[in-house]
Amino acid sequence: MTGMASARLRFHVLWLAALLAIISCGKRKAPAPESPPKTTDVAALESDRLAAAVITIAHAQVEHYAGVRPKPGRTKEESLAMAKEICATARKEPARFRELAMDRSEDPFGAEGGELRAWTKGEDKALDDAVAPLAIGAISDPVDTEYGYRIFLRQRPLPLEKLSARHIVVAWAGATRAPAAMARSKAEAATRSQELAVRARRDPGAFEALTRAESDGWDKQRGGSLGQWMADGGRYPVAFDRAVAALAEGAVSEPIETEFGYQIFQRVAPKPEALLLSGAHILVAFRGAEKARAGVGRTRREAETEAARIAAKARANPAAFGQLAVAYSDDPSGSSGGDLGVWTKGEMPAPIDEALASLKIGEVSGPVSTPFGYHVLLRREAPTDKAYVVK
């Protein structure tokens, strides 16, 4: 996804610049991408989260300007008047808040409809004070900050869940990553996106084929797959997350305006992730086993008995597993403590994969038989053993 990676890099550059703007409401830090919740009580965690979108109207006196447009020369009074006018419009038509943010906001969040990532109550008092008193869907009065006047729309935080989707991109001339030969106007793109959304909803099962045939996206040949990720985790703009999270699996969204054009999302079921395994082993070979050294004279039964003895030693002191491998293993890996590295389940002989997968981290197996002999296995931690890891 080279194009998306480039676009995400651009977005995160804007995001880093926008940290200055967030500081104006306190000292809130952006959450690390894909950071796991620090508690297993998801319901309690979600009840402590706040989310909002913001429109910022700057003026010449702001101390730090983080907008993507040139710093405006208007006075503070003119900025307030403009903010009040935008606020009134937004309150009359709340559904237009995203559009207003994209057209009028003078901070990096405007490019994505003003969406802020969720934060935890108490993390930033100034943001809490501006947003917490609002009902979900309510819009604040203009708030005076050193970066200008800011208008907040309180939103419901996204559920802490894994998302998976594909998308169709309908670009217009000048949109980010639009094909070089693109001549379509924004209005024409809006019309075409509605037509494609109707077709996609009529036959959701053909969404991938429709993407390959009609999308202007960089990933059309992959059927527009966005992979899978944690909602509000930083992998994609919040607008992507919000559009996908609102869908049932298989459902198709209305066209969403983004910097790439109009995007149509289809939520799909996350694929089971391949289990990563990591471990070490001690091999006890027997006469006639595959790749057994010429000097190995023990019988199969003797090898099993020896493997059981070594397993008992390793279980008594797992920290000494490497030393036991050096002393007893008939495999060349014994000299390096029996290390097997990290691999995807299915790449090793099935008995080893199954035995390791059944162990807890740091646990030692009993003798496991393969054509090479009897293995004593130690399971080590691999990335997929950590909660909320998204590939």
Sorted by sequence, the CB contacts under 8 Å of residue 364 that are 6+ apart come out as: 311, 314, 315, 318, 321, 376, 377, 378
State how far the Cα of 277 lies from the Cα of 279, in Å rounded to an integer. 7
Average pLDDT of the chain to the nearest whole number: 85
Tokens 């990096």 sit at which residue? 108
User: CB-based burial of residue 351 (10 Å sphere; 0-12 exposed, 13-18 middle, 19+ buried)?
Assistant: middle
What CATH number labels 162-267?
3.10.50.40
CATH for 2-155 (3.90.180.10, 3.10.50.40, 3.10.20.30, 3.30.70.260) = 3.10.50.40
Give CA separation, 190 vs 171, 213, 262, in Å.
9, 18, 7
State how far the Cα of 4 lies from the Cα of 236, in Å rounded to an integer. 9
The answer to whether 162-267 and 276-385 have equal CATH topology is yes
Give the DSSP letter string of 301-327.
HHHHHHHHHHHHHHHH-GGGHHHHHHH
Topology of the domain covering 276-385: Chitinase A; domain 3 (3.10.50)
Among candidates 193, 173, 183, which has minimal Cα distance to 257? 193
pLDDT > 70? residue 297:
yes
Give CA separation, 386 vs 161, 272, 366, 389, in Å.
15, 15, 25, 6
Give CA separation, 245 vs 137, 232, 237, 269, in Å.
17, 10, 13, 12
pLDDT > 90? residue 30:
no
Q: What is the pLDDT of residue 90?
A: 96
Is 262 in a helix, a strand, or coil? strand
Pairing between β-strand 276-284 and β-strand 373-380 as defined by DSSP bridges: antiparallel
Edge to edge, the sheet with strand 225-230 lists 225-230, 162-170, 261-267, 256-258
pLDDT > 70? residue 2:
no
Q: What is the pLDDT of residue 147?
A: 83
Do residues 151 and 142 lie in contact, with contact meaning Cβ atoms separated by under 8 Å?
yes
Q: What is the pLDDT of residues 256-276, one digit of tens each?
A: 998 899 999 999 998 776 788
* Domain limits, the chain: 2-155, 162-267, 276-385
- State whether the Cα torsion 356-362-363-364 is positive or negative: positive
State how far the Cα of 266 lies from the Cα of 241, in Å rounded to an integer. 12
CB atoms within 10 A of CB 387: 8
pTM score? 0.58
- State whether the Cα torsion 87-90-96-97 is positive or negative: positive
- CA atoms within a 13 Å half-sphere pointing along the CA-CB vector of 315: 13
Tell me which of 5 and 202 has the higher pLDDT.
202
Which region, left, alpha or beta, applies to residue 224 given φ > 0 means left and ψ of -120 to 50 means alpha? left
Q: What is the pLDDT of residue 375?
A: 97
Q: What is the pLDDT of residue 133?
A: 95
State how far the Cα of 170 lies from the Cα of 191, in Å rounded to an integer. 10
pLDDT-derived band at 218 (thresholds 50, 70, 90) equals confident
